[in-house]
Structure 1
Amino acid sequence: MNAIRRTTWALAAGLALMSTAMAQAPAPAQDAASYPNRPVKVIVGWAAGGATDVIARVLSEKWSKSMGQSFVVDNKPGAGGIMGADALAKSPPDGYTISVFLSATLTANQFVYNKLPYNPDKDFALITHLTNGAVVLAARPETPYATAREFADYIKAHPGKVKYGSYGTGSFGHVIMAYIDEMQRGQMTHVPYKGETPLLQDLVGGSVELALVSVANSEQHVKAGKLKYLGVTGPKRLQALPNVPTLAEQGLDEVPLKMVGWTGIAAPAGTPKPIIDKLVAETHKALQDPAVQARIMGFGNEVVTNGTPAEALARYKADVPIWKKLVDLSGARAN
């Protein structure tokens, strides 16, 4: 009997181990035809209401309708997008967690922060480039310069007199202004804020003189006469502001001043290619919708309707060395 019991217990234990192993084994790779068959989480590393969040919500609505499953935005704001990127990096690579991200989260943060909880070169699969988002140089109406060129000349002639704000240490708005300051030896004072909303409050209130800001959040103040536009970054004028010249048109034509931030879609590294390909195709379809384009362009962004994973990766690789130089120049560092 003892032998029989031992044999029975051994069999039972073996079956239990097999069941546990089967439960823990990764699910087989899913093909594009059956994806998605349950809700998909869309991580945004910024608070609700900003341009990146709105882009994610507009696309999620389109994806939900076209693919027959819910795409649910999950905001994880904090530390310049790091919280959201970290959550994405630690998610299963099965297509059921993706992210709409802001480029600086991958490009700039690796140089601003002493240590990241993710590796931007290894932990993500870039799916597609979505938008280009230039920012606009906005100033208090009483400032003694009416253009970006006049501003640059003014700080050169009056070092130490100007105080500018940014929506965060190491942000695009910080490092580009630091670059202009270095070019002109302007000795400006930088005042960082935790986001664009408090920055604009103080800019309108007069605590700082000027800043690089988004069209979406600053245009109301310009229309009310509380701010004025001096110029826009990037290689061409914004469709939303056709009468505002670029910095390059005004003689500030160095490479960093022609850069723009951009948004894209990413998944955890190892996500099956058929799923990525399906997301690319469905995203292209959504971005062809004139209503979607109008909503995105209302934020001062320009839509990229045919981006590929290879192009998104190439854009990332091209931006990284420029961002390294800009962050080093600005001295932006955070723990």
Structure 2
Amino acid sequence: MFIAVSRRALALALPALLVTGHASAQDAAANYPNRPVRVIVGMPPGGATDIMARVIGEKLGAQLGQSFVVDNRPGAGGIIGTDAVAKAAPDGYTISLILSGAVIANQFVYSKLPYNPDKDFTYVSQVMEGVVVLTADAKAPYKDAKEFAAYAKANPGKVSYGSYSTGSYGHVVMAYMNKQQGADMTHVAYKGEAPMIQGMLGGEAQLAFGSVMNMGPHVASGKFKYLGVSGPKRMAALPNVPTLAEQGLTDAPYRMSGWAGFIAPAATPKPIIDKLAAAIHTAMADPAIQKRIRDMGFEPTLDSSPAKNMERYKHDVPIWKNLIELADAKIQ
């Protein structure tokens, strides 16, 4: 008798509990944010991801009435910062602007991650498509990417290349070229783009993929030179620099691109995620934001949403898995 009454009471109470829970989530979203929001960036200050987070964060703050404060957590190919998001309270007050490699490539580069990219995050909104430019020391004995590939093949063991993080596009694609050409190149991994460029200036790495924003001043000063652009088409910021594919490097990895987007802890209430996504969409419609991103050499994403961002993530996972296996870029 007691069990029957309890079940009946539960059946009667459950709809009310569901309504109360839905109302609480809606109330939380209505009052969100009522304190500053932390934006974790898994790269050091001064890089393209850091600057993008600050530029977009400023717009979000103006819309939502609270500061969006960047918290740089560089290291381990973005793992340190991304793990901090996975373990944060799912209340909307910790989010992150990530490079896609942190949740996609890292699954296959590293034998174990402290987070599960499929389960530990909500993908809020993609904000840019990330093509990069292969840049070398101005005195290097090759003038473009085609000549570099031939040089690396003919001079095994003589080339060192940098990357702004292990598992990044610049690491994995160069590892792929290394294997295809039998070049025995040395990979020098850095904790961000700014230290990578310092490594190039100091002669530690001879070339690397990077952003126009950070590579451009050194090309203008005569210290670096552009060899070619990744992705399917030329950059708007570098219309005279040919793609790798135009130079005969037509394998799929040379035509790929990564992306950057906002994520939040998995259990963050949907009304808060929707409010964040709407604010990001509004920020990305601002011509000044679009220009800033294009000036960095990237293409702004103007029509993303949580569903579309998740769809892009699922689309890219098997592609990067295959590339990393082909490149033999896994770290034990």
AA of the residue aligned to 2:278: A
Task: Give the structure 1 partner of residue 30 of structure 2.
Answer: 33
The SS at the match of 2:61 is helix
Work out whether residues 204 and 221 of structure 1, in 8 Å CA contact, stay in contact via their aligned partners in 2. no
Work out whether residues 136 and 226 of structure 2, in 8 Å CA contact, stay in contact via their aligned partners in 1. yes
Q: Take 1:175 and 1:256, find their aligned partners in 2: how far apart are those partners? A: 9
Task: Give the structure 2 partner of residue 279 of structure 1.
Answer: 276
Report how many residues are paired: 311
Aligned to 2:291, which of 290, 294, 308?
A: 294
Task: Give the structure 1 partner of residue 301 of structure 2.
Answer: 304
- Worse-matched range after superposition: 31-40 or 51-60: 31-40
Work out whether residues 29 and 94 of structure 1, in 8 Å CA contact, stay in contact via their aligned partners in 2. no
Shift of 1:334: 4.6
Work out whether residues 25 and 271 of structure 2, in 8 Å CA contact, stay in contact via their aligned partners in 1. no
Task: Give the structure 1 partner of residue 3 of structure 2.
Answer: none
**Residues 86-235 of structure 1 correspond to what in structure 2 (within 5 A)?**
86-235=83-232
Task: Give the structure 2 partner of residue 11 of structure 1.
Answer: none
Q: Take 1:129 and 1:168, find their aligned partners in 2: how far apart are those partners? A: 20
Task: Give the structure 2 partner of residue 314 of structure 1.
Answer: 311
Q: CA RMSD in A?
A: 2.3
Shift of 1:333: 4.4
Change (3 A) 1:188 1:77: closer
Task: Give the structure with higher Rg (CA).
Answer: 1
AA of the residue aligned to 1:206: G
Shift of 1:282: 1.1
AA of the residue aligned to 1:282: A
Shift of 1:277: 1.7
AA of the residue aligned to 2:212: V
Deviations 1:71-124 (A, max 9, x none): 222222222222221121122222222111111110111222232221100000
Moved over 4 A (4+): none
Change (3 A) 1:237 1:33: same
Task: Give the structure 2 partner of residue 47 of structure 1.
Answer: 44
Q: Take 1:96 and 1:79, find their aligned partners in 2: how far apart are those partners? A: 24
Output the TM-score relative to the length of structure 2.
Answer: 0.86
Output the TM-score relative to the length of structure 1.
Answer: 0.85
Shift of 1:46: 1.8
The percent of aligned pairs where both chains have the same amino acid is: 60
Q: Which runs of 5+ in 2 are unaligned?
A: 1-20
Shift of 1:196: 2.7
Shift of 1:182: 2.2
